């Protein structure tokens, strides 16, 4: 049960109302235990269907584009370039707008509801893209266009439409959690959220992927139906509270230019947030090594089948560890847990260097691969369980979407440049090895360098977090008590 009530301080989310039952508060929302359970259930069911849809769409499309005769550049355009461009344009716009949007249904739900219907429609149309291409070819046959060319054009246009609305949903959806989940439960909720995502991906790969070519239309119809029904139900059952009036633009104006100016001045004027962005960019550069993880495994004598099994088991075990890791983040503080996980991930990367100095026999290499992977599971679980709660505890709540998208712009740019730089370095260093494939054993060195960078920025962030109030009194810097933007680095609050 969710009831509006008087505003309360989110740092004190638990109290006992008349009647003796505990109430868990966030903003103007009050939950009983049953209400909190229902909230988690609706959001996590929506997440499961969203992750199932997001697993199906690119994977099935990738297989079918190749089967349709698409070139590699077209596959890259459809699956990488189009989402990347929309991520750097649609996400900041929808994030900024949803932060400042006010309606009787809240500030996030209208975006989720309005985007769900067209997204579902585009998903269904992608499922029928072969039939649409064949129909258009029959109408345009006299113009000399091939059926393959027409079908691939249809797919590209439909994917653009799908990704346009998907970017709105996948950005605004994550911001909803910070508005409706009590602070005291954020770590555990987000751990469950991550676990559900892993299970959805596993369910798709185990049960559905094998039908990607033979039953393409049916796969898209099932994914679209599950997603649409789950999200519409969630939009109906999950309620947002009341919000204060939206903050004014920095120049007091209105319109697109004023909004862009506000976005950049508020998001990038204060050193505290730059340290936050750089810490997350460093982490993105650590995870850039994932693009070479299979090649790294093969360079130490691990075949693809064995690698896949170990990674699959590691993913399931890591998911199981996330809930206790999330509870730990709630109890201590996610920023402190994130710093501890940085040290743990750094230690695991150092362990991988053993393969740089010695060639092991296949049984020994497999044993070490399993052992180091096992050591890395809790480190990964703790990192994943504390990352998003750290965002929610440090970034300004009223501008949460805006600051998340500002962070994503910096992080995405850094990852894009870093990925190309890592690939170039490996190409340049490969001739130094008797076996050029052994160059992939250097990948952990890159990860170690940026783990150290992430740890450096996180420690600086921790010091500034304490200066701005710490665990019990933290107030996001750069804004006064009324939420107005301060145009220069503000001194720490007493």
The pLDDT value recorded for residue 11 is: 41
The pLDDT value recorded for residue 72 is: 66
For residue 132, give both structure tokens.
Answer: 């649409």
For residue 234, give both structure tokens.
Answer: 């969630």
Separation of first and last alpha carbons in the chain: 38
Q: Residue-wise pLDDT tens for the chain (494 aa)?
A: 333 333 333 444 444 444 556 788 888 899 988 899 999 999 999 988 888 888 777 767 777 777 788 776 777 777 767 777 787 888 899 999 999 999 999 999 999 999 999 999 999 999 898 899 889 888 877 666 788 888 888 988 998 999 899 989 988 998 999 899 998 888 888 888 878 887 787 777 667 777 777 788 888 898 899 999 999 999 999 999 999 898 888 888 888 899 999 999 999 989 999 999 999 999 988 887 776 777 788 888 888 778 777 877 887 788 888 888 888 888 889 999 999 999 999 999 999 999 988 888 888 989 998 999 898 888 888 888 888 889 989 999 889 999 999 998 888 788 777 877 888 888 888 888 888 888 889 989 999 999 999 999 999 999 999 998 888 888 888 887 666 787 665 444 44
CA distance 360 to 354: 10
Residue 427: CB partners within 8 Å, gap ≥ 6?
none
CA distance 116 to 113: 5
Tokens 């004014």, residue located: 248
The pLDDT value recorded for residue 20 is: 54
Q: Name the nearest CA neighbour of 425 among 291, 307, 303, 294.
A: 291
CA distance 209 to 216: 10
The pLDDT value recorded for residue 21 is: 64
For residue 175, give both structure tokens.
Answer: 């911001």
pTM exceeds 0.85:
no
DSSP alpha helix (H) spans, 332-361? 334-352, 354-357
Residues in the chain: 494
CA angle 206, 210, 211 (to 5 degrees): 120
In order of start, what are the domains of the chain with their CATH numbers?
45-237 (1.20.1250.20), 256-473 (1.20.1250.20)
Task: Supply φ then ψ for residue 231, to 5 degrees.
Answer: -75, -40
């Amino acid at each position: 049960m969710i009831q509006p009530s008087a505003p309360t301080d989110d740092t004190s989310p638990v109290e006992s109302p008349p009647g003796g039952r505990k109430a868990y508060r966030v903003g103007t929302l009050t939950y009983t235990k049953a209400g909190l359970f229902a909230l988690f259930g609706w959001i996590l069911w929506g997440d499961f269907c969203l992750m199932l849809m997001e697993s199906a769409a690119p994977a099935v499309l990738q297989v079918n584009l190749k089967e349709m005769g698409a070139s590699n550049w077209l596959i890259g355009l459809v699956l990488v370039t189009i989402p990347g461009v929309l991520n750097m344009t649609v996400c900041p716009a929808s994030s900024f707008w949803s932060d400042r949007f006010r309606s009787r249904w809240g500030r996030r739900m209208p975006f989720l509801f309005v985007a769900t219907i067209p997204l579902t429609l585009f998903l269904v149309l992608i499922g029928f893209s072969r039939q649409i291409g064949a129909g258009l070819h029959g109408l345009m046959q006299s113009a000399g266009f091939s059926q393959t060319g027409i079908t691939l054009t249809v797919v590209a246009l439909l994917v653009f439409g799908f990704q346009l609305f998907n970017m709105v949903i996948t950005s605004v959806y994550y911001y909803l959690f910070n508005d409706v989940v009590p602070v005291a439960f954020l770590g555990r909720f987000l751990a469950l959220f991550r676990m559900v995502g892993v299970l959805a991906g596993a369910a798709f790969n185990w049960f559905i992927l094998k039908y990607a070519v033979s039953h393409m239309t049916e796969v898209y119809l099932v994914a679209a139906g599950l997603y649409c029904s789950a999200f519409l139900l969630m939009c109906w059952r999950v309620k947002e509270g009341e919000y204060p009036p939206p903050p004014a633009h920095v120049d007091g104006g209105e319109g697109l230019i004023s909004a862009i100016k506000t976005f950049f001045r508020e998001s990038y004027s204060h050193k505290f947030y730059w340290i936050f962005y750089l810490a997350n960019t460093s982490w993105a550069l650590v995870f850039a090594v994932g693009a070479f993880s299979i090649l790294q495994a093969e360079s130490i004598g691990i075949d693809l089948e064995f690698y896949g099994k170990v990674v699959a088991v590691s993913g399931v075990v890591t998911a199981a560890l996330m809930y206790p890791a999330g509870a730990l983040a709630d109890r201590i503080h996610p920023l402190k847990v994130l710093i501890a996980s940085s040290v743990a991930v750094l230690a695991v990367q150092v362990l991988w260097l053993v393969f740089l100095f010695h060639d092991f026999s296949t049984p020994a290499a497999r044993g070490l691969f399993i052992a180091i992977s096992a050591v890395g599971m809790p480190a990964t679980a703790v990192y994943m369980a504390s990352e998003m709660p750290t965002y929610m505890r440090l970034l300004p709540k009223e501008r949460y979407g805006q600051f998340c998208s500002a962070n994503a712009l910096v992080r995405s740019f850094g990852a894009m440049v870093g990925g190309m730089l890592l690939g170039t370095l490996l190409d340049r260093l490969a001739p130094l090895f008797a076996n050029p494939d052994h160059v992939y054993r250097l990948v952990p060195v890159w990860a170690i360098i940026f783990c150290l960078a992430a740890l450096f920025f996180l420690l600086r962030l921790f010091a500034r977090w304490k200066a701005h109030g710490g665990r019990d009194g933290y107030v996001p810097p750069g804004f006064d008590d009324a939420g107005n933007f301060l145009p220069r680095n503000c001194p720490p609050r007493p």
